[in-house]
Structure 1
């Protein structure tokens, strides 16, 4: 659907479903590469804890070692993992539950970020507050139409690609921003309800 490689292996998906691992992946996407010590300083965890979680992410193919820097052994996002998307597979037992777990954690993390921004909005420059939005929409669509819209939403930020890895590509005044979008049908009524 979106050009991403879909993973449905429950063990690989569960390896992602940990708040610190998601935080480490976020940092490595931004930094390009970092050692366990650098990650620990960024995320506020111990080096030992970061090292453990980095190794788990590597074990499941999400990270790989970058070129050694003296005594430092930095990590980076694995090339094969750069465009991964978790999707349940009805033929893979446990994949639906694993995807639900990861998706729930992701929504919670992103909602917490939005709440933090809103709590600090009075301290933000007005142009950043005015540039931000929280929008909802309700509409009727078929599964095919929803899938098409999902693909379009996933590509909304393509024009900003490359700015994380190459700071010189960022315009003056650019800040790290996020898009949180969910597209899903309303839950079906439960039987007997």
Structure 2
């Protein structure tokens, strides 16, 4: 799983930083639900302070300040050099984003719960982001923004028959193309490029396994049709929080 929120502050060209490889300690630090929301908001809106983020997310500045410091501690964000010297620190997403070997962490009993929380939230937020746009576009087809972006936004599905090795090679080649085409847009902000919006590009490649579909049906029936059984973000993840023990 690779998370490249927007790279608004990364520099285009060969010097672009590589994604940070998330270790077990950082994974546990990311499992706190508010930290995921803060990362997403910084990626979408660009550099911000704890106070600004608190207003946007409906949280106290004390809480956002604490969790921003923890995100910085684990390497996900850093202070924004473009806003230095003020009374309050400005934060930005780490240039280059981050990458986590989620499947490997799921196999380790020590990190399984934290990995499940992070992956669950990551995929849920991807679905929700796309659903919000689609729902708004359908409900407000005459809205100026929908008329402007309607032909630009879209999705497509292709079904191919591949071996696992062929699929991996295909995915890596596709990501190379995406990175090359994205380079020209890196470093932009709403101030430097008026009229632009944060645009999210989602890619997914996965096998349509009969055994996985059967498992999903059995799981849904066992959970009474509720889905997402056994995944929570409230406890048992080994994360630190205000007044709690920091991760070791």
Match of 1:177 in 2: 199
Deviation at 1:160, TM superposition (A): 3.2
The residue correspondences of 1:82-93 to structure 2 (distance < 5 A) are: 82-87=96-101, 88-89=103-104, 93=109
CA contact (8 A) 1:58 1:64 kept: yes
Matched, 1:151 2:172: yes
Unaligned runs of 5+ in 2: 3-17, 219-248
CA contact (8 A) 2:53 2:64 kept: yes
The residue correspondences of 1:1-193 to structure 2 (distance < 5 A) are: 4-9=19-24, 11-30=25-44, 32-66=46-80, 68-78=84-94, 82-87=96-101, 88-89=103-104, 93-95=109-111, 97-121=113-137, 122=141, 123=143, 124-155=145-176, 156=178, 158-161=180-183, 163=185, 165-167=187-189, 170=193, 173-187=195-209, 189=211
Distance 1:174 1:73, change over 3 A: closer
Deviation at 1:77, TM superposition (A): 3.1
Looking at both structures, which has the greater relative contact order when contacts are Cα pairs under 8 Å and sequence separation is at least 6?
2
CA contact (8 A) 2:71 2:77 kept: yes
Deviation at 1:35, TM superposition (A): 1.9
Unaligned runs of 5+ in 1: none
Pairwise CA RMSD:
3.3
TM-score by length of 1: 0.75
Distance 1:133 1:146, change over 3 A: same
CA contact (8 A) 1:15 1:57 kept: yes
> 4+ residue stretches of structure 1 with deviation over 4 A?
90-93, 190-193
CA contact (8 A) 1:12 1:60 kept: yes
Deviation at 1:59, TM superposition (A): 2.5
